[in-house]
Structure 1
Amino acid sequence: MDRERLTRTLLGVFADAEFFIADRVHEYVNTHWFLRGLVHIEHRGNIYMFIFNNKDIVGINGPYNVNGALLLLTNWTPNMTLQNFNITHTNLWMQLHGILVEYFHQENILNLARTAGEIIAADWHAEETRALQFAKIKIRVAVNAPLISGNYLQTLENIPTWISFKYERIF
């Protein structure tokens, strides 16, 4: 494969090591991912290669699931071999629900998010309008570790308040 084509390629494996028929994966991608361009899918064993006209569309919105199975994606990198291919971490968007309005600020949100994984990004655009609903943080987690369901936030009155974590696009 030429390098130009590989720069538009994402490699993926299913987190639960489930095997799928490539045609079904292709059908699911075309009907559920709402891409604005063509995608060609090849597979070698349980490794799938997604070759896009524009891979940025998928990289921004991932991870994805196919019929309920989590599909972990990573960019192709030069000199990569499929024999040694392994995804150990993935990025997930996490919603933090139940934050009391007076505690809904960046420091508290980031401290809570750090308990679930390494912080990659934060969606602060809608902070004020979403304050009564949830905060949204992108974190990096190990794929073989359990996801944390939430954590406690101590109020000034020393009352523990449960903040639940909900992960986007994994089910």
Structure 2
Amino acid sequence: MGIGIPKQPYDYPEDVDKFSLAVVGKVLDDRIFFETQIQNWVDLFWKTNTAIIVQKASHSKDIFFFFCTSYEDRDNLMSLRFAPDKGALVVFKAWQMGSNILGIDFSESTIWIKFEGLPTEECQPQVARRILERVGRIIRFDQPLLDDRPHCLMRAKLVVNVQKPLILGFYYEITLKKVVWVFLRYEGVFLCLPWMWENWS
């Protein structure tokens, strides 16, 4: 049985309001990234309505707070879910007041995946499902894919474990003597390092 310590009004820091629009990001990479590097990335390459201040969490080599000052910037950042930076993948999670960053699960993120290389007449969701179920959890297919027109590629949104190697593609066996390679294109992950990929057949 532990001792109960009630929260007091002065337990908050003076700038506690900045947490109300905060987003937390984790850099998935073996390298160490510094606060100034991430701040420069935001300032130079992001299009924002107002300034976003980056602060690295103490006692952590890969977790950063992105303190937004507008709802639109916060919502835009959360709609990304992840972003590549210098070959690393940064996964974003919404900050919940009263939480602790050590309890946030950064292992999964939503990613759009394109299929390229399937024969047009077989470019169908039922074909895609057989491989996508090995990649992650299917959220939905792109709406145009659901009509009856011929398709040259497929696109689907998945929840993927980004801490595991991503499947680069697969062999589709048309006949015993004819096999084609189908590419899986992870949108926004094209700058990631080679260790993130693996082939599957």
Deviation at 1:14, TM superposition (A): 0.8
- Find the counterpart in structure 1 of residue 151 from structure 2: 131
- Find the counterpart in structure 2 of residue 166 from structure 1: 185
Alignment of 1:6-85 (within 5 A): 6-44=19-57, 45=60, 46-52=62-68, 53=70, 54=72, 55-85=74-104
Q: Please say if 1:151 is aligned against 2:170.
A: yes
Q: Hey, which bits of structure 1, 4+ residues long, moved more than 6 A?
A: 1-4, 126-130
Deviation at 1:25, TM superposition (A): 1.0
Unaligned runs of 5+ in 1: none
Q: Secondary structure at the match of 2:33?
A: coil
Aligned equivalents of 2:66, 2:123: Cα separation in 1 = 39
Distance change >3 Å, CA 14–CA 32, structure 1 → 2 = same
Say whether the 8 Å CA contact 1:127–1:135 is kept in structure 2: no
Distance change >3 Å, CA 4–CA 94, structure 1 → 2 = farther
Deviation at 1:153, TM superposition (A): 3.3
Aligned equivalents of 1:122, 1:9: Cα separation in 2 = 30
Aligned equivalents of 1:90, 1:99: Cα separation in 2 = 26
- Once the two structures are superposed, residues 77-110 of structure 1 have per-residue CA deviations (whole angstroms, 9 ceiling, x without a partner) of 3432124444122222211110211012222223
TM-align CA RMSD: 2.8
Aligned equivalents of 2:34, 2:129: Cα separation in 1 = 40
Aligned equivalents of 2:107, 2:77: Cα separation in 1 = 19
Q: Secondary structure at the match of 1:70?
A: strand
Which of the pair has the greater relative contact order for Cα pairs under 8 Å at 6+ separation? 1
Q: Secondary structure at the match of 1:25?
A: helix
Say whether the 8 Å CA contact 1:62–1:169 is kept in structure 2: no
State TM-score, norm by structure 1. Answer: 0.80
Q: Please say if 1:140 is aligned against 2:159.
A: yes
- Find the counterpart in structure 1 of residue 113 from structure 2: 94
Unaligned runs of 5+ in 2: 1-12, 192-201
Q: Secondary structure at the match of 1:164?
A: strand
Aligned equivalents of 1:51, 1:86: Cα separation in 2 = 19
Aligned equivalents of 1:121, 1:164: Cα separation in 2 = 19
State TM-score, norm by structure 2. Answer: 0.70
Q: Secondary structure at the match of 1:165?
A: strand
